[in-house]
Amino acid sequence: MVASWNAKTTADEVAEYLSSEIKNKNVLITGASLGSLGSEAARAVAKHANLVILAGRSQEKLDQTVAFIKGETPTANLRTLVLDLDALASVKAAAATVNSWTEPIHVLINNVAVKLPKELTLTEGVEYQFHGNFVAHYLFTNLILGRIKAAASADFSPRIINVSSEAHAFSPVRFEDYNFSDGSYTQFSAYGQSKTANILFTVELAKRYAKDGILSFSLHPGVIWTPGAQSLKEELVGMGKLLAHTSSSRY
């Protein structure tokens, strides 16, 4: 079946095919507000997993995701975690909560992609997208690494998935000037830098923690018609990533 998967393959089809591997697993997904890639992944996985932890910036939005998933799968075992990636204090608090739980984390999906501001914006002294897409996830992942390591066994390797993008090609990581103080900022170059950072983080995780049985992956999810993509319709059409007359992406 895998050989026949394509752009029209649904999350449900993939989850059903892998249901025996998802069974009994605890999955933590960031950026799980309703309508996001995270909420869709959670919806599909929750049909088979032992526990799905939904992380997002507001309890209200997480409750909406819970209600949506429960409406389809009443037996889904869901837990919410407030995680505001704009504030490192919130990241640390969320990590402390995860570390207080007894359950191991079999799969961590660092999913959220922050909105693309047209003007240079700093969060805690760091360019907004670099902070939200990379720095906050870097910190959160490292702080809960013990819970991830605890999921390793003779027949299972825990997974860390960092959602990146083909937009990484827009910019390398500007190690000497990640805040674009030279005046060269554009919303897409900043987004590209953050997604390149996601990939480099993934590669280093795979190298550093292979001895602990941890696997790490990054991916390009495609241009999906999420609220974030909708806010950039004009730009995406101009880039040839979106069909102007429909709400469908080319990927």
The predicted structure's pLDDT at residue 3: 72
Tokens 């389809």 correspond to what residue? Answer: 72
CA distance 104 to 111: 19
Q: How far apart are CA 173 and CA 182, in angstroms?
A: 14
- Of residues 246 and 121, which shows the higher confidence score? 121
Query: Which of these ranges, 150-154, 201-205, 233-237, has the smallest mean pLDDT?
Result: 233-237
CA distance 107 to 113: 19
Specify the pLDDT at position 173. 98
Backbone dihedral angles phi then psi of residue 234, each to the nearest 5 degrees: -60, -45
Same domain, 111 and 158: yes
What are φ and ψ of residue 218, in 5° steps? -125, 165
Task: Please check whether residues 234 and 208 belong to one and the same domain.
Answer: no
Select which of 138, 178, 191, 209 is catalytic.
191
Mean pLDDT of 199-204: 98
Is residue 229 over pLDDT 90? no
Are 219 and 235 within one domain?
no
Q: List the CATH number of the domain containing 216.
A: 3.40.50.720
| Total Cβ atoms within 10 A of residue 236 | 19
Let me know whether 117 and 240 are in one domain. no
Both 194 and 229 in a single domain?
Answer: no
Indicate whether 142 and 116 sit together in one domain.
yes
| Predicted confidence (pLDDT) per residue in 149-195, tens digit | 999 999 999 999 999 988 899 999 999 999 999 999 999 999 999 99
Residue 239 and residue 169 in one domain:
no
What is d(CA 70, CA 62) in angstroms, rounded to the nearest whole number? 12
Q: Can 17 be counted among the known catalytic residues?
A: no
What pLDDT score does 157 carry?
Answer: 97
90 exposure class (CB count in 10 Å sphere: 0-12, 13-18, 19+)? middle
Domain co-membership, 22 together with 140: yes
Task: Give all strands (DSSP E) within the chain, no chain letters.
Answer: 26-29, 51-56, 78-82, 107-110, 122-123, 126-127, 159-163, 215-219
How much is the CA Rg of the chain, to the nearest whole Å?
A: 18
Whether residue 232 is found in the same domain as residue 216 = no
Structural domain count, the chain: 2
Sign of the four-CA dihedral 171, 120, 112, 158: positive
154/247 same-domain check: no
Q: Above 80 in pLDDT, residue 107?
A: yes
The verdict on 186 and 101 lying in the same domain is: yes
How far from 159 is each of 40, 146, 162, CA to CA, in Å? 19, 13, 10
Amino acid at the residue 215? L
Reduced to 3 states, what is the DSSP secondary structure of residue 84? Answer: coil
Q: Are 49 and 154 found together in one domain?
A: yes
Average pLDDT over residues 13-20: 96
Using CA atoms, how far apart are residues 72 and 75, in angstroms rounded to an integer?
9
| pLDDT number for residue 25 | 98
Contacts of 5 (CB under 8 A, 6+ apart): 13, 14
Contact 148, 101 (CB under 8 A): no
* Best CA proximity match to 96, nearest among 85, 110, 81: 81
The SS3 of residue 63 is helix
Domain that holds residue 230: 224-251
